[in-house]
């Protein structure tokens, strides 16, 4: 079907990553009259096998483009004449931002700036264009033992990752205030679920535990994150993208505050039961803390609930069991991530097109 025949043409950046691929699996099937174009340059975190099954969908396309490349982006916008963009592409791992911040600045700030400029030029003729910018609660910095982040919380980022996301949020805000772009921003808490690259806490612990490797816990392990199952996040994005008010920001969280050490112990307990092996918590190792490590994140999601009726559907208890099942059933996916084999998927699937 020609691009122009679709009701809407929606670009999704970072669609080969963890949240982007879950979002595409949700949106492509739910909105068959819309065209979804996945713009992703396939960094180490981009894995097209996360999107298996979508290649056959008539309303899905993939474009291997780096959002730092202005010309390639402009050509892609010219080709598809997008009506909207959901922007997830980013360098996303705090530990990597500490050892190598440059990519975070270039992609998260520079790439977002490129997209904003293209949208500004595209909309100069008065056409409407919705930009949904996906961000994190980490922009608000660290909480003490009490209180929650809300849409009114001050920006106090502490890592190069969160600082780069904060800068991109502010750029997006400024393009709404200055140029009138139709933007919405969501700040979400830590996600977990299928297709998360095994460098983040939950898939790393699952992968190491099943391989009998040490389970590194930073510092005293009492840092708190507010965990959200990824499909709950995707449903929130769907709602805000379609119904959010231009210029607004929405905080999204799971009401699931957990200490890191409790999560690691829970995964050990569940995996030990499943595998029928010696208790896996013997593998826990407390290691040197991450510099600038935020102590606690927690979201008050009452605004998105009252405005758009969104609430998480999965408790952590349910979500973590589903996640564990998924990783155990998809050990080949995990092994391909760790070995780098997943990169071949692009070559075999797309190289002849």
Active site residues: 137-138, 161
Q: Which of 352, 42, 133 is nearest to 51 (CA)?
A: 42
What is the C-alpha separation between 207 and 339, in angstroms, rounded? Answer: 13
Q: By CB under 6 A, tell whether 284 contacts ligand TYD.
A: no
89 versus 280: smaller Cβ distance to ligand NAD:
89
How is residue 126 annotated by DSSP? S
Q: Minimum CB separation from ligand TYD for residue 201, in Å?
A: 4
Place of tokens 């004449």: 81
Q: Which of 206, 226, 212, 210 is nearest to 323 (CA)?
A: 206
Site for ligand TYD in 257-276 (CB under 6 A): 260
Q: By CB under 6 A, tell whether 167 contacts ligand NAD.
A: no
Question: Which of the listed partners (ligand TYD, ligand NAD, none) does 218 bind, with a CB threshold of 5 to 8 Å by partner kind?
Answer: ligand TYD
Contact by Cβ (8 Å): 91, 107: yes
- Which tokens in the block code for residue 122? 């595209």
Question: Which of the listed partners (ligand NAD, ligand TYD, none) does 216 bind, with a CB threshold of 5 to 8 Å by partner kind?
Answer: ligand TYD
What is the C-alpha separation between 108 and 92, in angstroms, rounded? Answer: 9
Residues belonging to the chain: 353
Q: By CB under 6 A, tell whether 118 contacts ligand TYD.
A: no
Please select the residue that binds ligand NAD; options are 97, 107, 114, 153, rule is CB under 6 A.
107
Q: Minimum CB separation from ligand TYD for residue 223, in Å?
A: 4
Radius of gyration of the chain (CA): 20
Question: Which of the listed partners (ligand TYD, ligand NAD, none) does 210 bind, with a CB threshold of 5 to 8 Å by partner kind?
Answer: none
Q: Which of 107, 102, 101 is nearest to 88 (CA)?
A: 107
In 219-263, DSSP assigns E strands to 224-226, 228-229, 249-252, 257-259
3-state secondary structure of 64: strand
Site for ligand TYD in 209-248 (CB under 6 A): 216-218, 223, 225
59 versus 190: smaller Cβ distance to ligand TYD:
190
Contact by Cβ (8 Å): 1, 25: no
255 versus 290: smaller Cβ distance to ligand TYD:
290
72 versus 204: smaller Cβ distance to ligand TYD:
204
Q: Minimum CB separation from ligand NAD for residue 227, in Å?
A: 9
Please select the residue that binds ligand NAD; options are 6, 11, 12, 18, rule is CB under 6 A.
18
Q: By CB under 6 A, tell whether 67 contacts ligand NAD.
A: yes
Please select the residue that binds ligand TYD; options are 94, 267, 268, 304, rule is CB under 6 A.
94
Please select the residue that binds ligand NAD; options are 34, 57, 68, 216, rule is CB under 6 A.
68
Contact by Cβ (8 Å): 168, 109: yes
Question: Which of the listed partners (ligand NAD, ligand TYD, none) does 43 bind, with a CB threshold of 5 to 8 Å by partner kind?
Answer: ligand NAD
**What's the number of CA atoms in the CB half-sphere (13 Å) around residue 128?**
5
Question: Which of the listed partners (ligand NAD, ligand TYD, none) does 164 bind, with a CB threshold of 5 to 8 Å by partner kind?
Answer: none
Contact by Cβ (8 Å): 59, 29: no
Residue 51 C-alpha from the chain's centroid: 15
- Please give, one letter per residue, the 3-state secondary structure of 93-144: CHHHHHHCCHHHHHHHHHHHHHHHHHHHHHHHHCCCCEEEEEEEHHHHCCCC
Q: By CB under 6 A, tell whether 190 contacts ligand TYD.
A: yes
What is the C-alpha separation between 321 and 299, in angstroms, rounded? Answer: 23
Q: Which residues in this chain contact ligand TYD in the complex, by CB under 6 A? A: 94, 190, 200-201, 204, 216-218, 223, 225, 260, 290
Q: Which residues in this chain contact ligand NAD in the complex, by CB under 6 A? A: 13-14, 16-20, 40-43, 45-46, 66-68, 88-92, 107, 111, 134-136, 165, 188, 190-191, 197
């Amino acid at each position: 079907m020609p691009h122009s025949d679709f009701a809407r043409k929606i670009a999704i950046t970072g669609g080969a990553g963890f949240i982007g691929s879950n979002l595409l699996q949700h949106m492509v099937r739910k909105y068959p009259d819309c065209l979804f174009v996945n713009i992703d340059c396939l960094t180490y975190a981009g894995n097209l096998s996360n999107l298996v099954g979508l290649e056959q969908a008539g309303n899905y396309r993939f474009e291997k483009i780096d959002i730092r490349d202005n010309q390639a982006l402009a050509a892609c916008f010219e080709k598809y004449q997008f009506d909207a963009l959901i922007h997830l592409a980013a360098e996303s791992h705090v530990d990597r931002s500490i050892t190598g911040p440059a990519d975070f600045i270039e992609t998260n700030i520079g790439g977002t700036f490129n997209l904003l400029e293209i949208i500004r030029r595209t909309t100069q003729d008065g056409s409407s264009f919705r930009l949904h910018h996906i961000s994190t609660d980490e922009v608000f910095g660290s909480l003490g033992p009490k209180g929650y982040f809300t849409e009114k919380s001050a920006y106090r980022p502490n890592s190069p990752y969160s600082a780069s996301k904060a800068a991109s949020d502010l750029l997006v805000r400024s393009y709404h205030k200055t140029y009138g772009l139709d933007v919405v921003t969501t700040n979400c808490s830590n996600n977990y679920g299928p297709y998360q690259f095994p460098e983040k806490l939950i898939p790393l612990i699952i992968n190491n535990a099943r391989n009998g490797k040490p389970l590194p816990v930073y510092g005293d392990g009492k840092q708190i994150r507010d965990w959200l199952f990824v499909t709950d996040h995707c449903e929130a994005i769907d709602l805000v993208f379609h119904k959010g008010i231009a210029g607004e920001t929405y905080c999204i969280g799971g009401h699931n505050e957990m200490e890191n050490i409790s999560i690691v112990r829970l995964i050990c307990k569940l995996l030990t039961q499943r595998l029928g092996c010696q208790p896996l918590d013997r593998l826990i190792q407390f290691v040197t803390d991450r510099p600038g490590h935020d102590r606690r994140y927690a979201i008050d999601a009452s605004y998105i609930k009252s405005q758009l009726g969104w609430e998480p559907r999965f408790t952590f208890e349910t979500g973590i069991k589903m996640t564990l099942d998924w990783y155990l059933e998809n050990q080949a996916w995990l092994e391909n991530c760790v070995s780098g084999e997943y990169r071949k998927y692009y070559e075999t699937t797309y190289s002849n097109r």
